[in-house]
Amino acid sequence: MVDCLIAFGSNQGDRERAYEAAVNSLNQHPQVEVIAVSELHVTAAVGGPGDQSSYLNGAIRLTTALAGEDLHQLLIQTENDLGRIRLNRWGARTIDLDLLLYGESQISTPNLTVPHPRMSFRRFVLEPACEIAAEMIHSPSRLTIGQLLEQIGTANRRVLCLVDGALDETFTEIADEFGEKFGSAWTLERVDRCDQINGNPMNAVLIAYFVLDGSTSDTCWMAAKSFKGPVLELPRDPVLARRELFAAIEAIQ
């Protein structure tokens, strides 16, 4: 049996009932046993349309004999059974079940990435998760869930961004808007020398890097993976990159 961690979120309908129904549905599967559930936390919507109502977020810890991909499909089926309709990314939803951790395994397929690529800096994920799984390991950073929550709460409000030469204009555009949106409370710093990233020497809260386009080296990727803390991969399109980065900061606050 594999120890797994699931995130729950809902901002439509009877949110408390959706949580209870999801837990009960998962626990009824013959190859799943729910072993702990967190309290529900009220959180503001992050990254999506600005008129959304608040979310209730929780965490579910379970053990399973299912493979990671099969557990993921079970979560999707549970969402569908409980009335989820998929319209917009980060949009309002009756229920959202995300596979955060599948033991300490790292899974990367076209349909599934585990650990969840944004869990390490999302306060609304980490706070309920810490109630029931503070000691579980986030394998990419080698930090526990509790340590990740501590880092986003105590680290300097500094974000490091690894930038290769082809993205100078993109970074400048994002940095200008970053300052306008977050003011002096946060700083976004460019890092050109990837060897400066070894652990977390500058006590940064997050490091971001741009996804490879097939023509650049993997130096930035390797440097990002050596960072001891939350990591965010950004698309090379400036509009999408800005949206991802700003949503990440909102999720940390």
Active centre residues (catalytic)? 84, 93, 96, 98
Q: Which of 72, 133, 141 is nearest to 108 (CA)?
A: 72
* Three-class SS of the chain: CEEEEEEEEECCCCHHHHHHHHHHHHHCCCCEEEEEECCCEEECCCCCCCCCCCEEEEEEEEEECCCHHHHHHHHHHHHHHCCCCCCCCCCCCCCEEEEEEECCCCEEECCEEECCCCHHHCHHHHHHHHHHHCCCEECCCCEEHHHHHHHHHHCEEEEEEECCHHHHHHHHHHHHHHHHHHHHHCEEEEECCHHHCCECCCCEEEEEEECCCCCCCCHHHHHHHCECCCEEEECCCHHHHHHHHHHHHHHHC
Structure letter (DSSP) for residue 136: -
Tokens of residue 128, six digits: 């309920």
Both structure tokens of 102: 């599948």
Q: Phi and psi of 187, rounded to 5°?
A: -130, 140
Helix (H), strand (E) at residue 32: strand 32-37
